[in-house]
Amino acid sequence: MASKTVFITGAAAGIGRKAAVSFARKGYTVGGYDIDEVGLKSLKDEIEDLGGTAVVGHLNVTDADEFAERLAEFTATTGGRLDVLVNNAGILVAGKFEELKIATIHREIDINTKGVANGLHAAFPYLKATKGSVAISMASASAIYGQAELASYSATKHYVRAITEALDIEWGSYGIRLAAIWPLYVQTAMTENIKTGTTDSLGIKLGPQDVADVIVKAAEPGLYSKLTHQIHWTVGTQTALLAMGSRFSPIWLTRLVNKRLAHGGH
């Protein structure tokens, strides 16, 4: 099989779906996986209507065995080739930590962290076998500094940040690159009913296509990004400014800025 291939989790809706269609437009064979099989069917139709190729199937990213099976099935159709893995599936739980059910917090940790570990672990042999491969995972602006009212979500995105940085070093010798994508709030189903201090103070300004465009860029970096071995990809000006600010300011100031932003319109 000559075309490049991408395996995307959480592909039925939101950012994952836009990324799937964007890769298809570039000629990639797209593997779209999700727990929402109705959404996947319409994704497959959308890609095929564009003249693209899509393989879709059920995958709950928290199930390591199912993840390995879906990857084996997908790569069986691509001659073993896996150019890009996109660990996109994730959920967001907002609210005061002590008021959330512990089972809800555990579910968020399972999907957002174990789901990413499962994907990276299962995809490793295929990424290793494919020259120039990259594993991309969805971090978030909440990986810059712990976020009030999103405490556990923000902690899961710090996990994504760290595992991306670490494996990029470990797997460099196999020719595998890693990348993390850092959007601030994006208008998807995830943020539809979310209201926190920072949604008030910062707004929800990005659309899912803005993020998908950056995912595709991270998969196919330009010369400058290649030369600087870019791992972290911010989306939008607000995140770029917040990330830059936290890099150059003392930790007490970063805390103060985050505290002010968290109080938003409250």
Ligand X SMILES: NC(=O)c1ccc[n+]([C@@H]2O[C@H](COP(=O)([O-])OP(=O)(O)OC[C@H]3O[C@@H](n4cnc5c(N)ncnc54)[C@H](O)[C@@H]3O)[C@@H](O)[C@H]2O)c1
Residue ranges that bind ligand X, judged by CB under 6 A = 9-10, 12-16, 34-36, 39, 59-62, 88-92, 111, 138, 140, 183, 185-186, 188-191, 208
Nearer to ligand X, 82 or 143 (CB): 143
Nearer to ligand X, 53 or 147 (CB): 147
Tell me the HSE value of 125 on the side-chain side, using a 13 A CA sphere. Answer: 6
Could you give the 3-state DSSP secondary structure of residue 234?
strand
Q: What share of the chain is helix, strand, coil (3-state, %, to 5)?
A: 55, 15, 30
Q: What is the DSSP letter of 140?
A: -
Nearer to ligand X, 128 or 210 (CB): 210
Nearer to ligand X, 114 or 128 (CB): 114
Beta-carbon neighbour count of residue 137 at 10 Å?
26
Are 130 and 2 within 8 A, CB to CB?
no
Nearer to ligand X, 80 or 95 (CB): 95
Residue 158 CB, nearest approach to ligand X (Å): 12
Nearer to ligand X, 51 or 265 (CB): 265
**Residue written as tokens 């836009």?**
18
Residue 120 CB, nearest approach to ligand X (Å): 14
- Rounded distance between C-alpha atoms, residue 119 and residue 110, angstroms: 12
Residue 140 CB, nearest approach to ligand X (Å): 4
Sheet holding 29-34, edge to edge: 53-58, 29-34, 5-9, 84-87, 134-138, 177-183, 232-235
Backbone angles phi, psi at 57, to 5 degrees: -175, 160
Residue 227 CB, nearest approach to ligand X (Å): 27
Name the nearest CA neighbour of 166 among 137, 125, 141, 142: 137
Q: Catalytic pick from 126, 153, 159, 185?
A: 153
Residue 157 CB, nearest approach to ligand X (Å): 7
- Rounded distance between C-alpha atoms, residue 250 and residue 31, angstroms: 43
Q: What is the DSSP letter of 138?
A: E
Amino acid at 89: A
Where residue 84 falls (left for φ over 0; alpha for ψ -120 to 50; beta otherwise) is: beta
Residue 9 CB, nearest approach to ligand X (Å): 5
Active site residue 185: no
Active site residues: 153
